[in-house]
Amino acid sequence: MEGLDFFTEQQLLQFFHCNKSEISCMGNSQLFLNQLRDHDLIPEDRYKKLSRMKSKENFIKALYEFLDWFEQHKSQDILFFWKCVFREAIMGFYPTLKRLHNNLFDGSFHFDAQRIVKEEKQDDEREWKEPSDEEKSRKNSMKKKKLKKRGSCDTEEEEVEEPGPSSRLTTNKNKRAKKIIYASPLRKGEKGDIWTWPIYKSQLPVKCGLVEGMLQKDKLAKGEKCILADKQWFTPSEFEKLAGKGSYRNWKLSIRCMDTQLGKLIEGDHLNVGTFKKGSKKVKKLLFPSVHSISEVGEQAKQSTEAKEKAEFEVRCGEFTGIVYKHRFARGNIGKSIRTDTGWMCPEEFTKEALSENYTSWRKDITYEGQPLSVLLKDVLQIHSVLCKCNICKPQPKDLDNENNDDQCCICQSDGQMLVECDHCPRSFHQNCHLPFVDDGTVRDKQKWMCTFCVFKANQEWQDSDVKETEAVLFNQISGYLMECQYLILHLFSADKEQIFATDPTLLINSYSNFIKTPMWLEKVKEKLQRNQYKTVGQFVSDVRLIFTNSASYNQSNPEFLSMGERLKQLFEEELQKVFKITE
């Protein structure tokens, strides 16, 4: 847990203080106690006492008392404590610890260092404040009364004896430590972006696809490797590749902080970006190089490195094709890790679908770039141990049901927030990414839900097959063809994997408006559709075509982005003809 090193000891202690009750209420805490014992974080006598307890209520009370003792006497080990309990194997067994881990790293928990300092200062002032003569006299009088009640015959000198400075120090030392009062940095009901919080002054939690990391702001400003993930430092482009989004080639769009693209944070002056130098590739020269040593060996090494960085692998079995997702492959043949056009399958299901019963082994029959899948199993795809108890290997019934749908929204290509799953296809959506928007009532409804893609496919069966001319289609009122237009824009979103044409280009390119007077992007078209701002189909089509016209004008000297725009434009025109049955 390298990310914990970014937090101060006081912050980790505060987080511990605020979550002792939740930790003490975890069910079946024996594994938790074993982990603490293995790392010498709990005294042996307390461990045995807790392990012998049968009553659940007594156990919760005793565990809380231990955590309270740990806070008072072992606060110097707080970093080591969180590193021990935030290990994947332990979090997989305790959802409470997994949630606490997420709260700490995604900014859900609010720190307030100023309040801590203030409370400690007040405690010190109260503790070392000299009593007045009147207070001394009153205390002595009370002592006398107590002694008289007990029938004491001691002398007056013993009754009125004042503790000296050294004895007062000893008394204070034996006192129980004061509780620190913690408060949120925001007022009740107030919300704030986490990049404005003091704790995230130097770093930010970031995410690309399913890979999480911690971004160091000063390193980003210097153009250095600035994102820590999986105990390694990466540049934004390298982190993008690690997440399997290397084809995007635009980390400002693909990397996000709390669902906000880094490009928007840069535009809002929350982040400064330095110049990243492209490292020169060094090749070790041989004195007498053979043809194989340079070409084949070098190419194999390059392919092996690229494979380890990827998160998705296009595979084939007979005439069937699919994509293996690395993060889903932990359960091997049991888990649904292969995505096809129609759904999610485990490797054996995929093989049977492709070869019927005439298959030998999915490890051999499924191939990646001409090689059996078993090649990837050696270094790239990892199957967890049979004894592993992580969330993937020991899923809840709800998690098993979720395996039938994508882990990311098929529109914005990110996970985050709650995903609404279609019951008729493997797609998943954010409520506001889908068209029409999915309201909360639909989400709570237990009835099956069908996305616009599936609705359009079902309606095609009974629609008239008469061909139409282009002009006749464009002059139609959009109210009668709203579902078709919604399908078209969602289809473009889904095809734009890099999200190049999804967002406002003026947010990322300062000079864009100097060249393009009427910017247009997919998100704006989707929003206008949702708000019923189009009157005719032609107005909708005109806005979509404007996106690609602008792209062709601005990217004349950038063939890569120019070809992306041309490809998406061609896709739109082809789908437009199919949807409205337009004749040439």
pLDDT surpasses 60 at 49? yes
Sorted by sequence, the CB contacts under 8 Å of residue 477 that are 6+ apart come out as 535, 536, 537
Integer Rg of the chain from CA: 32
In whole angstroms, give the CA distance from residue 411 to residue 406. Answer: 11
- The whole-number pLDDT of residue 199 equals 64
pLDDT, mean of residues 552-574 = 92
Distances 97 to 27, 85, 91, 249, 564 between C-alpha atoms, Å: 11, 7, 5, 35, 44
pLDDT, mean of residues 252-268 = 83
pLDDT, mean of residues 216-245 = 83
Task: Of 12, 398, 420, give the one whose Cα is nearest residue 199.
Answer: 12
Contact 6, 213 (CB under 8 A): no
Bridge partner residues of 477 (DSSP): 536
Bridge partner residues of 232 (DSSP): 229
pLDDT in tens, 387-403: 777 777 777 777 777 88
Buried/exposed code over 355-373 (b: 16+ C-beta within 10 A; e: otherwise): beeebeebbebbbbeeeeb
Angle at CA 53, nearest 5°, toward 51 and 58?
125
- The whole-number pLDDT of residue 447 equals 82
Task: Of 283, 333, 329, give the one whose Cα is nearest residue 310.
Answer: 329
Tokens of 2: 């390298």
- The whole-number pLDDT of residue 485 equals 96
User: pLDDT class for 530, splitting at 50, 70, 90?
Assistant: very high
pLDDT, mean of residues 484-488 = 96
pLDDT surpasses 80 at 124? no
Contact 453, 487 (CB under 8 A): yes
pLDDT surpasses 70 at 239? yes
- CATH code given to domain 307-398: 3.10.390.10
pLDDT surpasses 70 at 190? no
pLDDT in tens, 317-326: 988 899 998 8
Average pLDDT, the chain: 78
- CA 150 distance to own-chain centroid: 66
Coil/strand/helix, residue 463? coil
| Residue 259 DSSP code | T
**More confident position, 466 or 157:** 466
Q: Quick one: residue 259, left, alpha or beta (phi over 0 = left, psi -120 to 50 = alpha)?
A: left
pLDDT, mean of residues 63-82 = 90
Please name the helix (run of DSSP H) or strand (run of DSSP E) that holds residue 213, with its range, or none: strand 211-216
In whole angstroms, give the CA distance from residue 80 to residue 550. Answer: 55
Contact 4, 86 (CB under 8 A): yes
- The whole-number pLDDT of residue 539 equals 96
**More confident position, 274 or 277:** 274
Tokens of 14: 């505060």
Fold classification of 202-267 (topology level): SAND domain (3.10.390)
Give the CATH class of 470-580: mainly alpha
In whole angstroms, give the CA distance from residue 145 to residue 479. Answer: 92
In whole angstroms, give the CA distance from residue 89 to residue 92. Answer: 5
- The whole-number pLDDT of residue 565 equals 93
Angle between helices 56-73 and 44-52 (to 10 degrees): 160
Bridge partner residues of 233 (DSSP): 228
Tokens of 153: 């015959």
Please name the helix (run of DSSP H) or strand (run of DSSP E) that holds residue 316, with its range, or none: strand 312-317
Bridge partner residues of 345 (DSSP): 338
In whole angstroms, give the CA distance from residue 40 to residue 35. Answer: 9
Whether the CA torsion 229, 230, 235, 238 is positive or negative: it is negative
Fold classification of 405-460 (topology level): Herpes Virus-1 (3.30.40)
In whole angstroms, give the CA distance from residue 192 to residue 107. Answer: 11
- The whole-number pLDDT of residue 572 equals 96
What DSSP line would sit under 388-429, residue for residue?
--STTTS--HHHHHHTTS-SS-TTTS---SPEEEPSSSS-EE
